[in-house]
């Protein structure tokens, strides 16, 4: 019921919304919860396990009950928490977990079976048959669990991220947080404040307190940056805090939904207050039962009253402020049920003076009202006498539990505080302090003082002098009576099954007792066994209560128990905002070479290689992949081809110890490499396995250019840096990644020399002046280039390094120059085929981190004159005899699948029907090897494959038949040959 | 032990649920045992159970510094599969998978082993090669394995995005239908209950603080609950392997990292299988409770903190949403970290150590949950016989001296 219009809502803007198909109105600024309540809707939901009627229970992130599905089109949202989400025009709110309707729910009979569905019942049954579990029980349990349906459409909302650095982050803009800011704001420190609510301070009732709050905020002005509607949900090492900001629908032109704030603060002040907790009693879950402080919130913020006839159940004085506030606004207060016998605090006295009936030493022993609370039973603790009282709203307060979550997330210590009956931060984490009700302060004045002092302390930490000592004498220090620890009302076994500790998971006192009986006594075990605290509210209200109940059950004081660990996030955070804009094509950066446009113009099909997009092949019109590769391969072998090799990793190595580094990491010796010369080398990991390969060129004294494979470029650089920075710190070496400083064009084929010379006829390119494995600084078409004579195809080749911006120019020049030879751009696939014909392994394709140089047939690259990384491992006892070999199929047209396993049979297969499945009938088969690369070789007109074979070296060129596993379980016959299929003498590299 | 069945639930329900008994007896340790298992995770408890069950050794204690299952057993994403590449691994994990298939019955405890199928996605030509190699290798070992092209992946998992223009399109996947997930806590509790029933002492809140070695032999153990004499111990402490081994003067080749995971809020059933993508570091399944359970990549720094860095979590979200764009509006509910010990070849170390009577089982890294029953089985055998079980033999510590590595990770690059 709405009684007035508070300034948090805009009563000129009426909003129509739907709840379970029916239309209602609310005002702009309302939450779903306040909209429902203002329309008199209290029964909003069904509980997950027993399908009991439930309603809104609280006002913020602690809400356990009222989760909804919103809308059904592409703006659909699952598990929307009514207390946190603003209402908007046309919003369609739907109850979850009820069928066919909220009012008549089929599964509500489950509540009758609660005796058989106690905590952990599913561990004790359903395991008679794997078949039934898989096809019946598990699917049924799964169907019953879970809240909303998952969305089935692409998310149209936008999210973003913002990185913020500040001197001081104040979490919480209540009185203590604002007071801390007051101490700090005159310094030139960068201060950031965040508050979860849209109107912090809204729960203040006293006029002078409200006034102080508003004036102070005004005074702070723009000296502090305040983010409201923003929740800090994670606290990580070194004051890295993560928050999520809900963007106001109203002025949201970009359709931004939420924004992730990633905050690095020099100092953090936690002023994020406390959360009211309930007391548990029989049937404490009916619609119309609320946390006490929520009544103040709904009234002050939305002008909404939670009922007409109120009863309050409490163990503390603070809740009296709520009931007095309600009385002031014309509500009828039926009674206050206070578990305490002696009330000496100021507020209960004031309440009594205002004519409010207080039942001292009483508890609630039951409640009534099927879909909304109608009346309650109260029982005297002294004489057990009971009677009934009617009401339409029952407020409950069991005291306040400090929000220690963020402090605890970082492993911060906590201790039990008897004054507030709750856990508070104990030792603060470095560069952080906690203030206000978070550390157990109760009154407004205490909180403000705690904030001022905290602010002064931080000021001091930054080296500022001069403290703020404001005059706060106008605020009277209220005397509060003692809170007594009271978690749950004692009752009989039957009603224990109706006394809900965790409203969301329907965990009752009976469940916790059964758990205890079954030996689950550690709070972590109880949580896992009963699911208490596992809900979307993460036990914000139920955690401490279950601890209280456990403490009683196992007869140990609560301060001896440890609450279950708090973890990020403090509130649920959408995946969408965590990803921010790093989705789709931005989910991982795309790297393109300088020649990308040229490739697109040639209709290249691209392949992902690491983050790079590389041309895979260049199909002509109507050409299939195989045909394109056939054509590309033969062009290189017979005339000339051109390849974009820019993605190869390139590392500049300079400094006087460069050579020392090379000799430490490469297996072979680089000492005798002359200037302008190139050497191939292998890099091993400590375990002696090949990690990467490439060439290194000596550019000048103490300057080398190392190349790596495309995929390992960053890894190799990291690897070298790691050694330099951690083990070889005395070496004078600098590493610079120049991968994208130099574009690389490889011109390969017998006609390549002719093509290059057209770009600069004055240079001599013949093999005497410019021999294989050497490098020249050459001017090509007016551009200073580096040309390397290395070959990955076996043909005469020139690798031209061109300054990145000039790459397209040179590419086009080369295409022009080569047109008379039909110069053919070729992609990675052709490159793979050509190198396979030559038996060159690709690190990462033919090797997998478990291959050493000897197995790879490169034993001769292991220097015995020097030490190198991985050498020691190679001297270990175990030597495998697997060896890198070539496979030539008996049928030249059958291509073995890459990844095929090789088996050897003690007989020759009779026919093709003898496939793998048939062989396996008699038991498993031993693998003798596997295929790493496999192609059809156009120049050889034969299928070829590379791979590893046990005792491979001895099998080369024997007649022995091996069998490779085919994609359809067929077995492909093959012989073993040298991996060098073509030009075994290596004559073609000089053209 | 009170037998669990539908009937027991019924009779207890009718009589007020007063007759339930502790699933296991949590006791203080005695001063002497034949075998002491250090670490009350799944592996330690399974070891104790099989010592009693298969080898009739019941004078056994399991010492757990917190509560049982508090380590990685209660923190993992519960993927159970056996489709490993290398013979040594796949045979061990397959042995384990076979035990999983009868585990609930064996333990009289529903560990909710759910054979819903595991997809390992391939996003590049190289991953296709690697995947097929694994499938072929599995076939030779008679382990169920299939290669699916991207259309078949889509058919098997309808909500996955196989679009060609996603950042790293799904080119195919391997599928093991017998693989799946299990309820991690129940595994610890079920083994504890069964072991306790056979006479094993389960000692919680009992931290081992020192190991007394004389003449290169274990003689006793110091704990926060007193000293214990014994001639044999099994160290099964996951992320604390090097810490415990050091107490025995043994230096192990292990690196310790934090591994994080997270769950979403519960939603109605949407994902019926397990999807793993190594290239983009995402592992996801949906628990019976309705939460999406998502594993992340490893935190690269070495740490003993059960907390990781935010960037690991947020960094993987884009990739997750690439695979499942419809998950964008789901909410992350809880994140956590566990401490994992990773060996140089990313395979476990099981067996004897240089100190007599000290047996070690660890280094399972990011993927030991699936091995729980099998690991317990072979470790119990090894301890009981003072001789490695044949499936455990290749995993002995001396493989690092000999150089016979089992580099599953290097070769297959699949974590978990
Ligand atoms: C986030 C995450 C996800 C994972 N996902 C998967 C997955 O999907 N599939 C999979 O197969 N594996 C997965 N794993 C790995 C798997 O969890 C572990 O390999 C496995 O659970 C280890 O079991 P355990 O019993 O050896 O260790 P734990 O369960 O960690 O048990 C070791 C116990 O030793 C105790 N302990 C330590 N020191 C002492 C001491 N001094 N005295 C007494 N006790 C001590 C610890 O408290 C702990 O309880 C994952 C791990 C993590 C962290």
Strands (E), A619-774: 641-644, 649-654, 678-684, 690-700, 703-708, 734-737, 742-748
pLDDT of residue A928: 97
- The token pair that represents B203 in the structure block: 């000692």
Domain A651-737 in CATH 3.30.70.1400:
yes
DSSP A34: H
Between chains, do B14 and A903 touch, taking CB under 8 Å as contact? no
A600: left (phi over 0), alpha (psi -120 to 50) or beta: alpha
Q: How far apart are CA B372 and CA B96, in angstroms?
A: 7
Q: Which of A857, A856, A838 is nearest to A847 (CA)?
A: A856
No. of helices (H) and no. of strands (E), chain A: 25, 48
* Chain A residue at shortest CA distance from B408: A850
Q: Do domains A277-399+481-560 and A651-737 have the same CATH topology?
A: no
Average pLDDT over residues A396-411: 97
pLDDT band at A4 (very low <50, low <70, confident <90, very high): confident
State how far the Cα of B401 lies from the Cα of B404, in Å rounded to an integer.
8
Distance (Å, whole) CA A513 – CA A530: 10
Angle between helices A444-461 and A175-184 (to 10 degrees): 30
Nearest to A85 by CA among A210, A247, A311, A219: A247
pLDDT of amino acid B409: 75
pLDDT in tens, A752-776: 999 999 999 999 998 999 999 999 9
Q: Give contacts of B109 with chain A, Cβ < 8 Å.
A: 123-124, 127
| Contact flag A689-B407 (C-beta cutoff 8 Å) | yes
For position A463, what pLDDT does the model report? Answer: 94
B140-153 tens-digit pLDDT: 999 999 999 999 99
Give yes or no for residue A468 having a pLDDT over 90.
no
Q: Do A582 and B185 touch (CB under 8 A)?
A: no
The string of pLDDT tens digits covering residues A235-275 is 999 999 999 999 876 555 567 889 999 999 999 999 999 99
Q: Per-domain residue ranges for chain A?
A: 10-130+133-144, 158-274+402-461, 277-399+481-560, 588-648+741-847, 651-737, 879-988
Mutate to test the interface with A, among B75, B149, B265 (most CBs of A within 10 A): B265
Mean pLDDT over residues A107-122, rounded? 91
> What is the predicted pLDDT for the residue at A385?
95
**Residue A674 to residue B350: CA distance in whole angstroms:** 50
Cβ of B207 closer than 6 Å to ligand 1, yes or no, is: yes
Residues 6+ apart with CB under 8 A from A896: A887, A889, A931, A934, A943, A945, A964, A966, A972, A974
Distance A539 CA to ligand 1 centre (A): 25
Q: What is the DSSP letter of B394?
A: G
- pLDDT value at residue B410: 65
Q: What is the CA radius of gyration of chain B?
A: 21
- Whether the per-residue pLDDT at A401 is higher than 60: the answer is yes
User: What is the pLDDT at residue A353?
Assistant: 97
Burial-class residue A283 by CB neighbours within 10 Å (0-12, 13-18, 19+).
buried
Mean pLDDT of A611-618: 97
pTM of structure: 0.96
**What is the distance in angstroms between the Cα of B6 and the nearest Cα belonging to chain A?**
5
Give tens-digit pLDDT for B172-206. Answer: 999 999 999 999 999 999 999 999 999 999 999 99
B280 pLDDT above the threshold of 90: no
Q: What is the CATH number of domain A879-988?
A: 2.40.30.110
CATH of the domain spanning A277-399+481-560, picked from 3.90.1210.10, 3.55.40.20, 3.30.70.980, 3.50.50.60: 3.50.50.60
Q: What is the pLDDT of residue A249?
A: 62
Measure A563 CA to nearest chain B CA, in Å: 14
Q: Which of residues 78 through 97 in chain A touch B, CB cutoff 8 A?
A: 78-79
The SS3 call for residue A544 is helix
- A48 — pLDDT class (breaks 50, 70, 90): very high
pLDDT band at A662 (very low <50, low <70, confident <90, very high): very high
For A867-932, the DSSP string reads --TTHHHHTSS----EEEEEEEESSTT--PPTT-EEE--SS---STT--HHHHHTT------EEEE
Is residue A927 over pLDDT 80? yes
| Residue B231 Cα, gap to closest chain A Cα (Å) | 30
Per-residue model confidence (pLDDT) at position A911: 75
The confidence band for A991, taking pLDDT boundaries of 50, 70 and 90, is confident
Percent of chain A with pLDDT over 90: 92
Spatial CA neighbour of A448 closest among A467, A462, A469: A469
Angle at A201 between CA A200 and CA A207, to 5 degrees: 155
The reported pLDDT for the residue numbered A474 is 86
CA angle, B367 then B123 then A598, to 5°? 150
The Cα–Cα gap between A274 and A441 comes to 10
Instruction: Flag if A149 and B264 touch (Cβ within 8 Å).
Output: no
Q: Report yes or no: A873 and B403 within 8 Å, Cβ to Cβ.
A: yes
- Domain A158-274+402-461 CATH superfamily: FAD/NAD(P)-binding domain (3.50.50.60)
User: Among residues B382, B267, B23, which one has the least CA distance to residue A96?
Assistant: B267
pLDDT, position A472 = 86
Above pLDDT 70, what percent of chain A? 99
A574 Cβ neighbours under 8 A, 6+ residues apart: A159, A257, A258, B328, B329, B330, B331, B332
CB contact under 8 Å between A115 and B24, yes or no, is no
Cβ neighbours, 10 Å, residue B397: 19
| Beta-carbon pairs below 8 A across chains A and B | 322
Q: How far apart are CA B389 and CA B60, in angstroms?
A: 20
pLDDT tens for A69-88 read: 999 998 999 999 999 999 99
* CB-CB contact of A582 with A598 (8 Å): no
CA dihedral A975, A981, A984, A987 (to 10 degrees): 170
| Torsion on CA atoms B43, B350, B244, B238, rounded to nearest 10 | -40
Q: Which tokens go with A293?
A: 């402080």
pLDDT of residue A856: 98
CA separation for the pair B59, B29 (Å, rounded): 11
Q: In which residue are the tokens 């073993």 written?
A: A976
Would you state the structure tokens that stand for residue A640, as one six-digit string?
């000339």
- Looking at residue A467, its pLDDT comes to 76
Q: Is B241 in the pocket of ligand 1 (CB under 6 A)?
A: no
CB distance B331–A510 less than 8 Å? Answer: no
Residue B317, both tokens = 């979200």
Kindly state if the Cβ of B415 falls inside 6 Å of ligand 1.
no
Is residue B152 classed as helix, strand or coil in its secondary structure? helix
Give the confidence band of A1 by pLDDT, cuts at 50, 70, 90.
Answer: confident
- Using the atom order of ligand 1, give the atom closest to the CA of residue B239: 30
pLDDT category of residue A906 using cuts at 50, 70 and 90: confident
Query: Taking chain B, what is the end-to-end CA distance rounded to the nearest angstrom?
Result: 34
pLDDT of B97: 98
Cα(B261) to centroid of ligand 1, in Å? 13
* B335: chain A residues, CB-CB within 8 Å: 567-569
Q: How much is the mean pLDDT over chain B?
A: 95
Of B37, B38, B44, B76, best ligand 1 pocket probe by most atoms within 8 Å of the beta carbon: B76
Alpha helices (H) along B121-254:
125-140, 150-156, 184-197, 241-247
- Domain A10-130+133-144, architecture per CATH: Roll (3.10)
Q: Is A916 on the interface with B (CB under 8 A)?
A: yes
What does the alpha-carbon distance between residue A627 and residue A605 come to, in Å, rounded to a whole number?
Answer: 14
Could you tell me how far CA A912 lies from the centroid of its own chain?
Answer: 50
Q: How far apart are CA A716 and CA B165, in angstroms?
A: 30
In the block, which residue shows the tokens 């998978």?
A: B97
Express each pLDDT in A558-606 by its tens digit: 999 999 999 999 999 999 999 999 998 899 999 999 999 999 999 999 9
B291 vs A147, A148, B112, B157, B262, CA distance in Å? 10, 11, 15, 17, 9
- pLDDT reported for residue B416: 64
Please provide the average confidence, as pLDDT, over all residues in chain A.
95
Q: Which CATH class is domain A588-648+741-847?
A: alpha beta
User: Is the ipTM reported for this complex over the cut 0.95?
Assistant: yes
| Nearest CB neighbour to B136, from listed A567, A573, A899 | A899
- Side-chain half-sphere of A798: how many Cα atoms within 13 Å? 28
């Amino acid at each position: 019921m709405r009684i007035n219009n508070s300034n948090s809502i805009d009563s000129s803007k009426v909003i129509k919304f739907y709840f379970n198909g029916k239309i209602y109105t609310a005002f702009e600024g309302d939450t779903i919860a306040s909209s429902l309540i203002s329309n008199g809707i209290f029964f909003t939901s069904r509980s997950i396990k027993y399908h009991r009627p439930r309603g809104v229970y609280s006002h913020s992130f602690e809400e356990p009950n009222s989760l909804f599905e919103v809308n059904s089109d592409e703006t659909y949202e699952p598990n929307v928490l009514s207390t946190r989400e603003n209402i908007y025009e046309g919003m369609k709110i739907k109850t979850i977990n009820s069928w066919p309707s909220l009012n008549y729910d089929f599964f509500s009979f489950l509540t009758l079976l609660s005796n058989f569905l106690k905590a952990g019942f599913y561990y004790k049954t359903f395991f008679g048959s794997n078949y039934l579990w898989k096809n019946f029980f598990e699917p049924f349990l799964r169907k019953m669990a879970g809240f909303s349906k998952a969305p089935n459409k692409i998310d149209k909302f936008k999210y973003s991220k913002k990185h913020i650095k500040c001197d001081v982050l104040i979490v919480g803009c209540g009185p203590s947080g604002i007071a801390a800011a007051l101490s700090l704001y005159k310094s030139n420190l960068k201060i950031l404040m965040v508050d979860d609510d849209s109107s912090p301070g809204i729960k203040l009732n006293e006029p002078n307190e409200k006034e102080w709050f508003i004036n102070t905020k005004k005074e702070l002005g723009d000296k502090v940056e305040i983010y409201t509607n923003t929740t800090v949900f994670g606290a990580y090492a070194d004051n890295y805090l993560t928050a999520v900001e809900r963007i106001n629908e109203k002025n949201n032109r970009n359709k931004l939904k939420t924004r992730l704030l990633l905050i690095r603060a020099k100092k953090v002040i936690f002023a994020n207050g406390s959360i009211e907790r309930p007391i548990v009693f029989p049937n404490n879950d009916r619609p119309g039962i609320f946390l006490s402080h929520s009544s103040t919130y709904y009234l002050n913020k939305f002008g909404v009253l939670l009922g007409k006839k109120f009863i309050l159940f409490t163990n503390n004085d603070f809740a009296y402020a709520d009931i007095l506030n309600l009385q002031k606004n014309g509500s009828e207060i039926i009674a206050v049920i206070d578990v305490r016998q002696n009330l000496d605090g100021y507020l209960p006295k004031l309440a009594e003076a205002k004519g409010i009936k207080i039942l001292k030493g009483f508890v609630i022993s039951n409640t009534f009202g099927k879909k909304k609370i109608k009346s309650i039973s109260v029982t005297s603790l002294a004489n057990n006498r009971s009677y009934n009282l009617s009401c339409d709203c029952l407020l409950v307060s069991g005291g306040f539990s400090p929000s220690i979550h963020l402090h605890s997330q970082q492993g911060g210590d906590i201790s039990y505080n008897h004054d507030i009956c709750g856990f508070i931060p104990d030792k603060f984490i470095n560069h952080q302090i906690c203030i206000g009700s978070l550390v157990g302060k109760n009154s407004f004045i205490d909180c403000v003082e705690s904030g001022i002092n905290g602010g002064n302390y931080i000021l001091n930490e930054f080296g500022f002098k001069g403290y703020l000592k404001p005059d706060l004498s106008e605020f009277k220090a209220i005397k509060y009576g003692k809170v007594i620890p009271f978690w749950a009302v004692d009752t009989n076994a039957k009603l224990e099954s109706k006394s809900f500790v965790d409203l969301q998971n329907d965990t009752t006192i009976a469940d916790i007792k059964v758990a205890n009986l079954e030996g689950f006594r550690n709070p972590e075990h109880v949580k896992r066994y009963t699911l208490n605290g596992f809900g979307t509210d993460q036990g914000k209200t139920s955690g401490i209560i279950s601890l209280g109940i456990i403490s009683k059950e196992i007869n140990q004081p609560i301060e001896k128990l440890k609450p279950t660990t708090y973890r990020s996030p403090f509130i649920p955070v959408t995946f969408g905002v965590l990803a921010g804009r790093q989705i789709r094509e931005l989910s991982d950066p795309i790297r393109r070479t300088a020649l990308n446009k040229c490739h697109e113009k040639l209709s290249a099909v691209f392949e992902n290689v690491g983050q790079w997009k590389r041309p895979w092949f260049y199909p002509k019109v109507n050409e299939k992949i195989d045909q394109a590769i056939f054509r590309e391969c033969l062009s290189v072998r017979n005339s000339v081809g051109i390849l974009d090799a820019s993605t190869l990793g390139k590392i500049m190595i300079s400094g006087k110890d460069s050579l020392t580094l090379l000799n430490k990491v490469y297996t072979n010796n680089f000492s005798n490499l002359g200037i302008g010369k190139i050497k191939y080398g292998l890099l091993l990991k400590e375990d002696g396995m090949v990690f990467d390969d490439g060439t290194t060129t000596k550019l000048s004294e103490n300057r080398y250019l190392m190349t790596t494979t495309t995929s390992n470029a960053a890894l190799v650089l990291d690897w070298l840096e790691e050694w330099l920075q951690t083990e070889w710190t005395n070496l004078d070496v600098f590493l610079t990644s120049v991968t994208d400083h130099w574009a690389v064009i490889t011109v390969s084929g017998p006609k390549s020399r002719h093509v290059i010379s057209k770009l600069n006829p004055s240079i001599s390119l013949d093999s005497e002046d410019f021999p294989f494995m050497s490098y020249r600084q050459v001017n090509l078409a007016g551009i200073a280039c580096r040309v390397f004579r290395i070959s990955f195809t076996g043909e005469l080749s020139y690798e031209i390094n061109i300054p990145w911006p000039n790459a397209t120019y040179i590419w086009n020049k080369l295409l022009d120059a080569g047109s008379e030879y039909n110069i053919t751009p070729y992609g990675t696939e052709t490159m793979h085929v050509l190198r396979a014909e030559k038996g060159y392994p690709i690190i990462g394709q033919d090797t997998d981190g478990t291959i050493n140089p000897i197995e790879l047939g490169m034993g001769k690259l292991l220097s015995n004159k020097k030490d190198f990384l991985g050498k020691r491992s190679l001297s270990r006892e175990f030597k495998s005899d697997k060896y890198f070999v070539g496979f030539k199929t008996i049928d030249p047209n059958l291509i073995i699948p890459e990844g095929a396993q090789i088996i050897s049979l003690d007989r020759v297969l009779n026919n093709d029907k003898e496939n793998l499945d048939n062989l396996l009938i008699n038991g498993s088969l031993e693998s003798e090897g596997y295929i790493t690369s496999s192609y059809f070789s156009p120049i050889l007109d034969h299928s070829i494959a590379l791979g590893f074979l046990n005792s491979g070296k001895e099998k080369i060129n024997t007649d022995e038949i091996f069998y490779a596993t085919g994609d359809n379980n067929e077995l492909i016959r093959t012989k073993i040959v040298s991996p060098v299929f073509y030009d075994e003498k290596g004559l073609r590299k000089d053209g | 032990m009170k037998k669990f069945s539908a009937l027991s639930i019924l009779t207890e329900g009718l009589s007020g649920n007063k007759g339930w008994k502790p699933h296991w007896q949590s006791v203080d340790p005695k001063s002497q045992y034949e075998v002491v298992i250090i670490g009350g995770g799944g592996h330690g408890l399974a070891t104790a159970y099989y010592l009693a069950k298969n080898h009739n050794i019941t004078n056994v204690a399991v010492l757990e510094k917190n509560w049982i299952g508090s380590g990685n057993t209660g923190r993992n994403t519960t993927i159970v599969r056996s489709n490993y590449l290398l013979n040594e691994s796949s045979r061990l994990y397959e042995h384990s998978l076979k035990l999983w298939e009868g585990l609930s019955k064996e333990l009289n405890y529903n560990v909710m082993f759910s054979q819903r199928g595991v997809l390992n996605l391939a996003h590049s030509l190289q991953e296709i090669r690697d995947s097929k190699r694994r499938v072929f290798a599995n076939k030779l070992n008679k382990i169920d394995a299939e290669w699916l092209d991207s259309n078949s992946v889509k058919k098997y998992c309808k909500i996955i995005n196989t679009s060609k223009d996603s950042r790293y399109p799904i080119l195919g996947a391997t599928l093991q239908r017998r693989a799946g997930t299990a309820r991690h806590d129940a595994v610890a509790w079920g083994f504890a209950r069964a072991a306790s029933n056979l006479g094993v002492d389960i000692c919680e809140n009992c931290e081992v603080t020192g190991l007394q070695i004389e003449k290169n032999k274990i003689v006793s153990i110091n704990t926060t609950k007193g000293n214990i004499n014994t001639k044999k111990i099994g160290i099964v402490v996951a992320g604390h392997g090097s810490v415990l081994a050091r107490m025995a003067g043994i230096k192990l080749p292990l690196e310790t990292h934090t591994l994080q995971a997270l769950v979403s809020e519960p939603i109605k059933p949407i994902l019926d299988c397990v999807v793993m993508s190594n290239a983009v570091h995402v592992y996801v399944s949906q628990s019976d409770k309705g939460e999406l359970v998502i594993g992340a990549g490893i935190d690269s720094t070495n740490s003993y903190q059960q907390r990781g860095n935010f960037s690991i979590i947020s960094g993987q979200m884009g990739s997750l949403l690439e695979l499942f764009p419809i998950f964008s509006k789901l909410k992350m509910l809880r994140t956590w970290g566990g401490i994992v010990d990773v060996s140089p070849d990313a395979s476990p170390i099981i067996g004897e150590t240089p100190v007599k009577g000290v047996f070690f089982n660890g280094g399972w890294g990011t993927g030991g949950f699936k091995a729980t029953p099998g690991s317990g089985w072979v470790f119990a055998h090894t301890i009981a016989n003072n001789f490695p079980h044949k499936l455990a033999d290749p995993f002995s510590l001396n493989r690092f001296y000999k150089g016979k590595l089992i580099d599953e990770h290097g070769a297959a690059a699949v974590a978990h």
